[in-house]
Amino acid sequence: MRNYAVTKVAFAIGIVAITLPLLGCGGGGRQNTVTVSGVGVVRAQPDTIHMTISLRHTADTTREAQQEVASMIRQALEILHGAGVEERNIGTAFLRFSPEYEWGPMGRNFLGQRAEQIITFSIGDIGADGERASAIIDRLIEINGIELQGMHFSVEDPASLHQQARKLAFQDAKDKARQFARLSRQRIVRTLHVFEEGVVPAQPFPARGWGQRTVLAMDAVAEAAGSTILPAGEMEISARISVEFLTR
């Protein structure tokens, strides 16, 4: 199991319900309980990047266009394999052959047949500054006409982070319940019920621009920066729970 350097944050939210026995109203057998909601948050550095690239070409015939795209695909695969990206982490997401037109003063003009293939791949062990991924992108730029269709970061083992977030959420709820029990001159005896409201999947922190589809020519990135720079930031996973405690 991968060990992550994580930043832990915990806080509680939601409605607090305190139930006390109703003396003199037939409620002597009723249990004293306190119910609170808690949130646990864990932040970790991403270790994996997922990328989608598009390779396309327009020629006089579909066969010619497809042959050129196939050549571009072979170059891309050679670069990825040479960088240690495993075959199981590379796949085709889209393949299309279609006529291409251009609109002019006289109407629509036929330009040729276009072939397009979209490849997705993931790179692990990217490091804090995305150096490994940057080196791969800098090699892919050598393929003329390649486009980056989208990318996002993730962690390889989110399950361990989910467990940490749940643990923080429970401890946070317990601390809050103890506070309310003290205010009611009681104490926590045991846990009665735990309800998980949900675990939020890993999200970038800060989540600026997350989920947006970006179409960016990779050679333009290279011209602007000299070498591709990919700061990874942090990923955030949170868990929300509701816990009922017995008090006396």
Residue ranges of domains in the chain: 6-45+158-202+237-247, 48-154
CA dist., res. 37 & res. 244, Å (int): 9
Q: pLDDT for 212-228, tens place per residue? A: 333 344 444 445 446 77
**Alpha-carbon radius of gyration of the chain:** 27
Structure tokens at 146: 């390649």
- Amino acid letter for position 67: Q
| Cis peptide, bond prior to residue 201, ω within 30 of zero | no
For the segment 137-170, what is each residue's pLDDT rounded down to a tens digit? 999 999 998 999 999 999 888 889 999 999 999 9
Average pLDDT over residues 15-35: 59
Q: Is the confidence at residue 30, as pLDDT, over 50?
A: yes
Quickly state the pLDDT bin for 16 (edges 50, 70, 90): low
% of the chain residues with pLDDT over 90: 57
Query: Which is higher by pLDDT, 74 or 236?
Result: 74
Distance CA 197, CA 248 (A): 27
Lowest mean pLDDT, pick from 21-25, 63-67, 105-109, 148-152: 21-25
Please list the residues that pair with 132 across neighbouring strands: none
Q: Which pLDDT score is estimated for 111?
A: 92
The per-residue pLDDT for 19 is: 54
Is residue 2 over pLDDT 90?
Answer: no
Average the pLDDT over each of 1-10, 35-44, 110-119 and give the range with the smallest value.
1-10
Question: What's the rounded mean pLDDT across residues 112-129?
Answer: 90
Measured in whole angstroms, how far is the alpha carbon of residue 171 from the centre of its chain? 26
Contacts of 158 by beta carbon, 8 Å cutoff, 6+ apart: 201, 202, 237
Q: Which class is domain 48-154?
A: alpha beta
Average confidence (pLDDT) over 80-90: 95
